[in-house]
Chains A and B, each alone.
Chain A
Amino acid sequence: MTRIDATFARLKAANKKAFVSYLMAGDPDYDTSLEIVKGLPAAGVDIIELGLPFTDPMADGPTIQLAGQRALEAGMTLERTLQMARDFRAVDDVTPIVLMGYYNPIYSRGVDQFLVDAKDAGIDGMIVVDLPPEEDTELCIPAQAAGLNFIRLATPTTDSERLPKVLQNTSGFVYYVSITGITGAAEAEATNVGPEVARIKAATDLPIIVGFGVNTPEKAEAIASISDGAVVGSAIVGKIANGDSPADVLEFVASLAAGAHKA
């Protein structure tokens, strides 16, 4: 059982929905980013998505593109992202960390080496945007064998015929992308998302977490109420881009978490 599985078991027992936060590792710099990450559990975050910076984030909108650029300019790498996980683990051995990013930095390091290092750093799972089920032999299957969760994205274009293929090698949870589009671009509508979540739930026992287009406490509550939890990314990253202090960023995160936990 990974920390992700344990977290959902705990939430289920407490009849609570999950709040998942995303931020880019190393944005705007290593120390500030680590300070925010360390404060996330106390702000009510159940699962931390740690963005792995990449030069060409094809599924991301301008907010997260720029966050990646800031991180890279501040010297962020895959190695330092793993180091951030290690530094976090020194103070928190419970909250799951999901690495979210693109395949090339992982491929460049070598999949086997990456999996050993990620496990050692206290990473629990990964979301790799440009690895659909058709490319499962690349990283998904080796990751599961190494005891790490490989969390798949399901989208509005994933029709019922394709859904079993998407769910087949998924573990930890399913991340439902609420819109067709890039991160931070459009708003998720609970009335549209509800039936989609129900469709996926009918095909899997895994928790369904919804992200893309969730940007306020009210939206987090609405989305969490029709799923197993909500993800907020761009809205938090936007605060960091504004130069808000870690305390202010965490206060915003706490308001989002409270919204999701109300559901």
Chain B
Amino acid sequence: MPEDNVNSFMNGPDENGRFGDFGGRFVSETLMPLILELEAQYEHAKTDDSFWAEMNDLWTHYVGRPSPLYYAERLTEKLGGAKIYLKRDELNHTGAHKINNVLGQIILARRMGKTRIIAETGAGQHGVATATVCAKFGLKCVVYMGAHDVERQAPNVFRMKLLGAEVVPVTSGRGTLKDAMNDALRDWVTNVRDTFYCIGTVAGPHPYPAMVRDFQAIIGKETKEQMHAAEGRLPDTLIAAIGGGSNAMGLFFPFLDDKSVNIIGVEAGGKGVNAKMEHCASLTGGRPGVLHGNRTYLLQDDDGQILEGFSISAGLDYPGIGPEHSWLHDIGRAKYVSITDVEALEAFQLCCEMEGIIPALEPSHALGHVIKLAPTLPKDHLLVMNMCGRGDKDIFTVAAALGIEMNNGE
């Protein structure tokens, strides 16, 4: 594993926005000047101390960072193997990791003089985070959300509206995250002068995958310091759930050059990674293609038509994955597995009962893999799982899946 800068895993993307063959800038000409401008502005901000000073101040006082690294003692005892730590990003303001990135992009948008923010959202966490930060700064906010997701994530829709955002239900396609992203891009191509597109994951045209990763990398940086304080060394295994892959990239990135650290991403296996594509496991069940501005692994048919994914988790219901994950997968630096809806639900319940933490359905997938893996590892093996969101938004979905009727909280 590389120790010198030349062979580092942390140099990507190249000047064309590529991670190996993945990534790039596959957008219409109308948008191309906008993303070049964004790239220039981000490159400038990245090395500007005043930008990071503003970020750090808000991370501390508005978001509540650093999030704790918590030793899950009962879960560890129950599984009887690796020592399990949870990175508690569900304790952030708005209840998920999404706000780490939103703050960065909105501060950048303000520097660029943009007055209108648009975003896509799946589970609603990115939409809520965007609406929150827009409210804080008095910016107009429009959130595109698949009509199907509007229905299954009603509490988050209400939250966004309370925060002053306009929520646009998207009916094209099957009405999920992919379709919301299409409509957000259509909005952007129409309102090029005043609008900033705040993408919620490490996907889209360059510079988004790199920029979102850099904002989320606070998760991994803190984890490294906290684990050093707790155990005096690096963790042995990192596990995170992946839809587009921003919480995972945030945790993984600062550890890419630490060769002793095993890195595992967990995709949504839906009803099982099968020929009928009733899952969202782009890496285990897809092949490379071009969508939403980047080349990456995608769920698609033989003709290159994009398939709708399937997952109980709206936040993982995306047929693609960030291009950097595709690259890490192909070069073998990270390993990617999948967890089914059923396994995630079991993990969800176990976490509630053993740790007193109601996890979101997204990290419940990561926990599903922890449950499989931890018992096979020695007791001195340090495992960190990113608890990237809390499950309050999911209680209705979980109740329905468990066949429980909720009436007035009885």
Contacts and interface: CB of A to CB of B under 8 A. Distances in A.
B182 A185 contact: no
B192 A108 contact: no
A155 B190 CA distance: 12
A130 B290 CA distance: 9
A147 interface: no
Interface stretch (A54-62, A190-198, A220-228): A54-62
A78 B303 contact: yes
A153 B304 contact: no
A26 B141 CA distance: 38
A152 interface: yes
Contacts of A156: 30
B305 A55 contact: yes
A10 interface: no
Choose among A108, A133, A162 the residue with the greatest number of B CB atoms under 10 Å from its CB. Answer: A108
A182 interface: yes
Interface residue range, chain A = 35 or more
A139 to B, nearest CB: 10
B293 interface: yes
A36 B372 CA distance: 58
Contact of B29 (A54, A62, A104, A158): A158
B305 to A, nearest CB: 5
A61 B186 contact: yes
A134 interface: yes
B26 A103 contact: yes
A260 interface: no
A105 B193 CA distance: 31
Given A130-B290, A134-B16, A180-B189, A108 B303 contact: yes
Interface in A74-110: 77-79, 102-109
Contacts of A108: 289, 300, 302-304
Interface string A35-57: 00000000000000000011111
A59 B28 contact: yes
Nearest to A166: B29
Choose among A53, A55, A131 the residue with the greatest number of B CB atoms under 10 Å from its CB. Answer: A55
B306 interface: yes
B304 A105 contact: yes
B244 to A, nearest CB: 15
8 contacts: A55-B305, A58-B185, A58-B186, A103-B290, A104-B304, A107-B295, A132-B27, A157-B34
Interface of A: 53-62, 65, 72, 77-79, 102-109, 129-135, 152-159, 162, 166, 177, 180-182, 185
